[in-house]
Amino acid sequence: MDLARMLDRCRRDQWEVGEIDWESPPRPLSVADEVAFVQHFSDMAGIERLAAALFAEQRDRASCPVLREVFATFVADELRHADVAERLARRFDVHGYRAYRMNPALVRFTPHFVDTVRHLSAEVANVYITTGELILDVALLRSLNDAVADPVCAQAMERINRDESRHIAVDFHMIDYYSSPAYQADEARRPPRPLRRRLRAWWAFANTFRHAAPFFREVFFRTMDRVDPTGRRLVEAFKRIQLVSAKPQVARRPFVRFLSFMQGTFEHPLLGPLFGPLVVRILGIEARVLVTLTTEAERRRAREQSFDDMAAEALALKHGV
């Protein structure tokens, strides 16, 4: 990836919330839909602010000044998305059926997740960020936009999706970087982190796992069950994650090996029935996306693809699934 060119694109494609036609009245909604959509957008605002905090961590860790600037634009993007989500929540809160707040599971999960990203390696942070961006972009935002079927929401989502396309492209670039021999050689030369810092990192990681299951269940899976009952987009997002993990240089990384071990345990004919529920509880994701979602032919193709091609293929799903 030409980072200078990406930075130019990031700066050129900035937009203002005021560009959206907020004056157009929303379409009539049933009581159930109004309550659900306002809650979904309230949660979306929290998710976008969480994404901004994660990109801020990546910005602060980046040694390349151009990459730092790229991540700085991503922080601005996500904060703008949060503002848009809050406006959409107010837009659809026509009757004031109840007071809306972010889902408590999201509130509890956020500080521990940010703490985890802050104290664990940048490589692990990037795995989580890429996973979240794929779920958000390939599945959640598109399905929510389709379910709402509102022209103002469509204006907002078109702009948000344009931003997220840049984010995913850089996410895949960073996966390529963290799995490269150059990064691994640099990592091997670094002195071990102090014990106190390593303990702090694992404490944060443990708390993230503790709160992950209710967060994913209540904020992602339940929302997706409502706005995309077929589940095809959710499966496709997790399938992209598994295909990235199929690349040999990625599969060798310690955190990906851990995730593969957990999936293998879950699917094992003997160990699965014994330890499967524990695996689901630890990882926080549901069984339907923890199973192998790819074929051998798809994994073989992924091993041969470049990361840029994989990113382009993931982005193409926004129009094809």
Tens digits of residue pLDDT in 218-267: 988 999 999 999 888 889 999 999 999 999 999 988 888 999 999 999 99
Does pLDDT of 284 surpass 90? no
Secondary structure class of 155 (helix, strand, coil)? helix
pLDDT range class, residue 190, cuts 50, 70, 90: confident
Tokens of 8: 């130019």
Checking if the pLDDT of 319 tops 70, the result is no
Q: Is residue 5 part of a domain?
A: no
**165: number of Cβ within 10 Å:** 18
- 321: pLDDT strictly greater than 80: no
Would residue 55 count as lying in a domain? yes
Would you give the DSSP letter of residue 305?
Answer: S
Note the pLDDT of residue 122: 75
Domain residues for 88? 28-320
Residue 3 lies in a domain: no
pLDDT at residue 130, rounded to an integer: 87
In a domain, residue 295? The reply is yes
Helix segments in 93-231, DSSP class H: 104-119, 122-134, 141-148, 151-178, 181-189, 195-215, 222-227
Note whether 41 and 88 are within 8 A (CB): yes
Neighbour-count burial of 153, counting CB atoms closer than 10 A to its CB (0-12 exposed, 13-18 middle, 19+ buried): buried
173 domain-assigned: yes
CA 202 to the chain's CA centroid:
21
pLDDT of residue 109: 93
Domains of the chain: total: 1
How would residue 295 be classed by pLDDT, with cut points 50, 70 and 90? Answer: very high
The reported pTM is: 0.90
Residue 251 located in a structural domain: yes
Mean model confidence pLDDT for the chain: 90
Whether 12 is covered by a domain: the verdict is no
Closest CA to 174 of 316, 6, 10: 6
Domain presence at residue 8: no
